[in-house]
Structure 1
Amino acid sequence: MTYQKRVPLLMLLDSVIVMLSIYAGYYILHPYSNFYNSKLLLVSSLVLLASHHIFALRYRLYLKAWEYASVGEMIIIAKAVTFSIATTGLVQLIGAGHVHIRVLLMTWMLHMLLIGGSRFSWRMYRDRFMQPTCKKKQTLIVGAGSGGATLARQLIYSNDVDLMPVAFVDDDPRKYMLEMYGIKVCGGIDDIPALVERMKIEHIIIAIPSLSRRKARRIYEVCSQTEAEIKIMPLLEDVMTGKVEVSALRNVEVEDLLGRDTVELDISTISQSITGETVLVTGAGGSIGSEICRQLCKFHPKKMILLGHGEYSIYKIDMELRKEYSEHIELVPVIADVQDPQRMQEVIGEHKPRVIYHAAAHKHVPLMEGNPREAVKNNIFGTKNVAEAADIHGVDTFVLISTDKAVNPPNVMGATKRIAEMIIQTMAKESETKFVAVRFGNVLGSRGSVIPLFKKQIEVGGPVTVTHPDMTRYFMTIPEASRLVIQAGTLARGGEVFVLDMGEPVKISDLAKNLITLSGYSLDEIEIEYTGIRPGEKMFEELLNENEVQEEQVFPKIHVGKADPIDKQDLYGVIERLKEMSIDEMKGTLVTMANRKRTRELQVAR
């Protein structure tokens, strides 16, 4: 029904109800009343009618979608009715010097009953007789809270989704056997396999918007024991901001099963450091660098320099950002190699950024074992070139993106990243620029990470290759890693190594198993093949070595390692000698220097 027809019809209905209520209220009480004043009754009814329409319009009573009416709508009805009755009583007091309280109370009760009944009867009719007739699949909802109840209602009355909730499960024992929308809470999380079999459940929906990752992993492990398809409700913030509907279900992703909640960052402090400033990101076309650019754009810097060696990758991120931010941010794509010191001086000298995020690096462990010179040129000399240019041109903050592989590294990649950390820690002692490093573990979905590899292997039917059944790694998402880097820039005082509290490490084999089941296959269909540890790899990674650890956090879930004293002469002497070393000599020197061992080899290298 259109707005033009709906409002007059409701006003007419309410007019009948108002007049009926006051006259019925009077005649119900008439035998017990010692007055009869038809003029006062007429005036009271007209005042009640007018005041009702005024308050109904004030509270938008005629614009409510009554098929979705609930407690909130009942409160609005109560307000409109009460204020209109109070206005009528005030007129009686002024005009007749007396308020007929019993008549007005009876009128109020009839008014509430008829107005509320007329509205909620439509909802009852819709719920009872206008349910979708299409055949729907038996669905179990995990979570009997507000999220689960809202989802259940949308699924019941929606023709767009072929799912019918038939049971809830919830670990809160106070909810057991309760019903919502006629659907019973049948047990807890551990009861899911039995319920799926008994009720022939085809779909399971995890409907806990505030669900922690640790609990999500436990729920998923229980649900994966069944053959039902598993979905998850969208994030509450996406529902609240209108990005998605409650019923816009998504697949469970690997990120949901990390067992660690994401870090909430200090948005106001970041805004103060970035908004209206010039920022430069090296490696801006890479997985981490491009996401740092996306996150930074949300804070509206004045200018953003996208620096990278790969022409196509810089073109892609530039075009992506221009679609949304070109009106507010000056985007400057720069093709340059961090290994070229003169070019770094030119770029930083021309644009004079306030903050530099140095994400350009070689990061693949086995590849760098076979190509140590390239790791040295990019990770060590590249960092040194950009850092020195930042120092010369008065950059306020320089943030190096490092890795957990820089801790006690047995490999070339980790060793070069640790030496890069040493360079900025050394420069922090003498420079006005605040030099800091940020360490985090493996990044899900980044180039060269295990997730894209596993997905490709699953697509072709396997096998999924894992180096060792007991190998563990720390994991985080690309957006989370990027936000950590940006937050570190605001916490910088100079020389720190910031580390994210990444929770418990995850077995690579468990990650592979989860990805196989999330892709809709069983472990019998897709085989896991163990290939053995590759050159330079460790069984487990560390985020801080024993000399760097300090317990307190500088920000929720962000630690800062103690600055280990570094002799500048030792460090720069070894760096210069790297240019002339043989491959074998270079490998040994890198690992020795990175692990800070004062051995005969280091003395020879000097």
Structure 2
Amino acid sequence: MSAEPQRGRLTGLESRWLQLPIDLALVAAAWWFAFWLRFNLDTPDEFQTMMVQTLVWPLLGFAASLLGFGVYRHIWRYTSVAELTRLSYAVALGGLLTAAAILMLRVEFFPRSVLLLHPVLALVALGAARALARIALSGAEPRFLSGKPLLIVGSVQDAAAALPALRGLRQWTPVGIVSPEAAEKGRSLQGLSVVGVLADLPRLAERLEAAAALVVSPPGSDARRAALMGASEVGLPLLTMPRPDEWLRNDHSQPRRVELEDLLGRAPVALDEQGLSELLAGQTVMVTGAGGSIGSELCRQIARFGVRRLVCVDVSEYAIYQLERELAASHPQMEGLYYTGNVREFDRLLAIAEQYWPTTVFHAAAYKHVPLMESLNEIEALRTNVLGTLNASRVAGRVGARRFVLISTDKAVNPTNVMGASKRLAEQVLQSVAVEFAQTRYVAVRFGNVLGSSGSVVPLFTSQIARGGPVTVTHPDIVRYFMTIPEAAQLVLQAGLMGQTRQIFVLDMGEPVKIVDLARLLIRLAGQTEQDVPISFTGLRPGEKLFEELLANDETTEPTPHPKLRVATGADTRVDTEAVLQWIASAGPAPSAAELRAWLQLMVREYQPVG
């Protein structure tokens, strides 16, 4: 049998039924010591008798107070400031109860200074007992088991939160802290020294023979990115602690490899959980484009709020099959309906919706690849992005849905390409349909690029790196806004909850990221350098802009109760939906590109084609 202590098992000293007698013995000792101090270390015989006769009152008072304040819910080996604060309150109340009992009994010639000295001495004694217990019990459990040397990268405060999770792990042994704060160099934390700053990371990794670096700095921080650059110089693997959702899915706390989301991510989204639960729990929700990156994440988020029925529609048979398997396994209690269907077909969408009468519809179906929609497929962008939105929004109105949410894009702002113009026209169509169906709230949500979504640069760069390069970037100065798929989906839900009809929400996308820096981060994450995997610049593609915008020239924003959501305000941009429907139908399967662009410019006045 292994002699290794079992983590989490309480010792006999940590039983509350043993702790209370220990505390009462210390209270009694403090009572005696208070008398002793009051009489200059020589207590007269009559006062020694008085001390013994009155001892029952501090014992009863302190026992009631300590139990009443829940002091024994705390485990001594983990005593902290919070536990000592609660102990102080309990001691103060115990002193008051003791004083009240003594004064009410009118004990003759009782030295009242004892009533002041005793609580102070009791607090010192009880606090010291807990501190000594923490030292003794912490020393009895393993500090860090013998494993591979690990450098901790982050401030002392961030390291303090991570070190307890590393105790008892066989794989790693921390050997030092590398802090982004120069002032922390030379300091010590739980026996671990701050051995240097981020600039020293390559040198320290070699000197301490570190096998990996654990980054404990916050997600998206400069310290995380700097650690990656420094670690890659010596080929040092970069690790991080699991995210909260990973803690929930796993029963261990092993560090994992750093991912791109950890470097570019931001603080978690704060959701109105109660409001969303009231909106979705027990309801029927329909999602179009349910098999896509955003659509499938929306389905996951919606399912966790306890919907009764989730109707998923996607044109891809494989995508809807994959979604069915995933949700059936993770939410077996939910009724999931999985349809292969095209949002271009109004009658098919209406037939599906009329079977279940959803209360909320999320419309994520769209073509989004800019170069592909810019040539050869322009009419496809109109049929899916514009006609599909018109169909889905009217279906939502026909079945009396309370809310309809359109997933839009920052490329709809001052568009220079067909895809962006089609999404802007979809927003205008949405606002027009909102007038037809007053009982339904129609809102749109704009956001930028989503990390890891299908067709985005991250999967492209990853495959290019796997082939040894080159990684192709269109321009050295091109920048884009990024957010993670879960963050985007959660903010879409939040906007759907709080939105009023015809509103267009703009998400806080944070700071834009240079695509070339993104490529460099991915190369470093793969354990390579630019010498191993070169970066080449290919020039801007048709319809591509250097900078994406979140607002058109004539738009401003107003704040909302949610810090990451704002509402775009501008001129009325409604369109004649019947004229839109008629033009797309009359355009045929292969209209000329010039004719299509000219019509788009008439409908979307801010659309300015390039090239």
TM-score range, shorter chain: 0.7 to 0.9
Aligned-partner SS, 2:156: coil
Query: Equivalent residue for 1:334?
Result: 339
Give the 3 Å change call, closer, same or farther, for CA 404–170 of structure 1 in structure 2.
Answer: closer
Aligned partner of 1:499 among 496, 506, 513:
506
Query: Equivalent residue for 1:443?
Result: 450
Structure 1 residue 125 corresponds to structure 2 residue 136: yes
Structure 1 residue 144 corresponds to structure 2 residue 150: no
Query: Equivalent residue for 2:496?
Result: 489
CA-to-aligned-CA distance 1:24-57 (integer Å, 9 cap, x gap): 5545647655551565333333444455444444
Cα deviation for residue 153 of structure 1 reads 5.0
Contact 1:165 1:183 in 2 (8 A): yes
Aligned partner of 2:82 among 69, 72, 77:
72
Cα deviation for residue 427 of structure 1 reads 2.6
Structure 1 residue 355 corresponds to structure 2 residue 377: no
315-324 or 382-391, which deviates more: 315-324
Query: Equivalent residue for 1:96?
Result: 107
Whole-Å Cα distance in 1 between the matches of residues 596 and 469 of structure 2?
35
Matches within 5 A, 1:178-577: 178-183=187-192, 203-209=212-218, 213=221, 216-217=224-225, 227-233=235-241, 249-258=255-264, 264=270, 266-267=272-273, 270-271=276-277, 273-327=279-333, 329-368=334-373, 369-432=375-438, 433-547=440-554, 549-554=555-560, 556-557=563-564, 558-563=566-571, 565=573, 567-568=575-576, 571-577=580-586
Contact 1:142 1:170 in 2 (8 A): yes
Aligned-partner SS, 2:312: strand
Aligned-partner SS, 1:321: helix
Whole-Å Cα distance in 1 between the matches of residues 206 and 175 of structure 2?
15
Aligned-partner SS, 2:55: helix
Aligned-partner SS, 2:46: coil
Contact 1:498 1:560 in 2 (8 A): yes
Query: Which amino acid letter does the alignment assign opposite residue 367 of structure 2?
Result: H
Cα deviation for residue 514 of structure 1 reads 0.5
Give the 3 Å change call, closer, same or farther, for CA 409–22 of structure 1 in structure 2.
Answer: closer
Contact 1:18 1:45 in 2 (8 A): no
Query: Which amino acid letter does the alignment assign opposite residue 525 of structure 1?
Result: D
CA-to-aligned-CA distance 1:502-553 (integer Å, 9 cap, x gap): 2443222221110111222222222334445445544443334324x22544
Query: Equivalent residue for 1:162?
Result: 172
Aligned-partner SS, 1:332: strand
Whole-Å Cα distance in 2 between the matches of residues 435 and 38 of structure 1?
83
Cα deviation for residue 270 of structure 1 reads 4.4
Give the 3 Å change call, closer, same or farther, for CA 593–261 of structure 1 in structure 2.
Answer: farther
Give the 3 Å change call, closer, same or farther, for CA 42–238 of structure 1 in structure 2.
Answer: farther
Give the 3 Å change call, closer, same or farther, for CA 87–355 of structure 1 in structure 2.
Answer: closer
Cα deviation for residue 450 of structure 1 reads 1.9
Whole-Å Cα distance in 2 between the matches of residues 446 and 556 of structure 1?
24
Aligned-partner SS, 1:96: coil
Aligned-partner SS, 2:461: helix
Matches within 5 A, 1:573-588: 573-579=582-588, 581-582=590-591, 584=593, 588=597
Which residues of structure 1 form unaligned runs of 5+? Answer: 600-606
Query: Equivalent residue for 1:602?
Result: none
Whole-Å Cα distance in 2 between the matches of residues 62 and 394 of structure 1?
57
Aligned partner of 1:40 among 50, 58, 61:
50
TM-score for both structures, normalised by structure 1: 0.81
Query: Which amino acid letter does the alignment assign opposite residue 352 of structure 1?
Result: W
Aligned-partner SS, 2:176: strand
Whole-Å Cα distance in 1 between the matches of residues 169 and 607 of structure 2?
72
CA-to-aligned-CA distance 1:178-223 (integer Å, 9 cap, x gap): 54334455676566566656766654444345x6656754665566
Aligned-partner SS, 1:36: helix
Contact 2:14 2:75 in 1 (8 A): no
Give the 3 Å change call, closer, same or farther, for CA 91–340 of structure 1 in structure 2.
Answer: closer
TM-score for both structures, normalised by structure 2: 0.81
Whole-Å Cα distance in 2 between the matches of residues 423 and 284 of structure 1?
21
Give the 3 Å change call, closer, same or farther, for CA 238–76 of structure 1 in structure 2.
Answer: farther
Aligned-partner SS, 2:518: helix
Contact 1:213 1:256 in 2 (8 A): no
Whole-Å Cα distance in 1 between the matches of residues 343 and 240 of structure 2?
43
CA-to-aligned-CA distance 1:276-321 (integer Å, 9 cap, x gap): 5432111112111111122223444443322223334334334433
Which residues of structure 2 form unaligned runs of 5+? Answer: 1-9
Whole-Å Cα distance in 2 between the matches of residues 499 and 598 of structure 1?
19
Aligned-partner SS, 1:387: helix
Whole-Å Cα distance in 2 between the matches of residues 379 and 572 of structure 1?
12
213-222 or 121-130, which deviates more: 213-222
Cα deviation for residue 162 of structure 1 reads 1.4
Aligned-partner SS, 2:556: coil
Cα deviation for residue 87 of structure 1 reads 4.3
CA-to-aligned-CA distance 1:550-603 (integer Å, 9 cap, x gap): 25445644241524545527534432322254454665456545654899xxxx
Contact 1:69 1:120 in 2 (8 A): yes
CA-to-aligned-CA distance 1:468-517 (integer Å, 9 cap, x gap): 43433322221222233333334544444433242443222221110111
Whole-Å Cα distance in 1 between the matches of residues 584 and 575 of structure 2?
13
Q: Percent identity?
A: 35
Query: Which amino acid letter does the alignment assign opposite residue 360 of structure 1?
Result: A
Contact 1:233 1:246 in 2 (8 A): no
472-481 or 215-224, which deviates more: 215-224
Query: Which amino acid letter does the alignment assign opposite residue 70 of structure 1?
Result: S
Give the 3 Å change call, closer, same or farther, for CA 14–265 of structure 1 in structure 2.
Answer: closer
Give the 3 Å change call, closer, same or farther, for CA 578–496 of structure 1 in structure 2.
Answer: farther
